[in-house]
Amino acid sequence: MIKALITVHYKQGILDPQGKAVQHALKSLQITGVHDVRIGRHIVLTFPDLSRNEAEDQTKKACEKILSNPVIEDFEYDLVENDS
């Protein structure tokens, strides 16, 4: 079984107000050294029957067509083999 672990986040240069709010919270918790916080979305697609190449092809299509909006977001993904 192949799982696609997808992360979608704002493009660099777009202010992420949620990230900023969390950054302030971290500071008040004395968690130090954090320069920037960006919040994104984590999506997992499970492909029980596809080959790795087929799964990658479908994942890419999904990311480009609906899971991310190219005007504001970038995406990254990892494909992992998973027996369960």
Partner 1 sequence: MKFGVVVFPGSNCDHDVYHVVKHVLNESVIYLWHKDHDLQGVDAVVLPGGFSYGDYLRSGAIARFSPLMTEIIDFAHQGGLVLGICNGFQVLTESGLLPGALIPNLSTKFVCKTVNVRVENVATPFTGEYETGACIRLPIAHGEGRYFAGRETLEDLESNQQVVFRYVNPSGKISDDANPNGSLKNIAGIINKAGNVLGMMPHPERASESILGSDEGAGLFRSMVNRMVTV
Residue 36, both tokens? 């920037």
Query: Is residue 69 a contact partner of residue 26, using CB atoms and an 8 Å limit?
Result: no
Query: Is residue 22 a contact partner of residue 37, using CB atoms and an 8 Å limit?
Result: yes
- Verify binding: residue 66, partner 1, rule CB under 8 A: yes
- Verify binding: residue 71, partner 1, rule CB under 8 A: yes
In the complex, minimum distance from the CB of residue 52 to partner 1, in angstroms, rounded to a whole number: 26
- Verify binding: residue 27, partner 1, rule CB under 8 A: no
Burial class of residue 17 in the structure, from the number of CB atoms within 10 Å of its CB (0-12 exposed, 13-18 middle, 19+ buried): exposed
- Verify binding: residue 18, partner 1, rule CB under 8 A: yes
Contact residues: partner 1, CB under 8 A: 10, 14-15, 17-18, 21, 41, 66-67, 69, 71-72
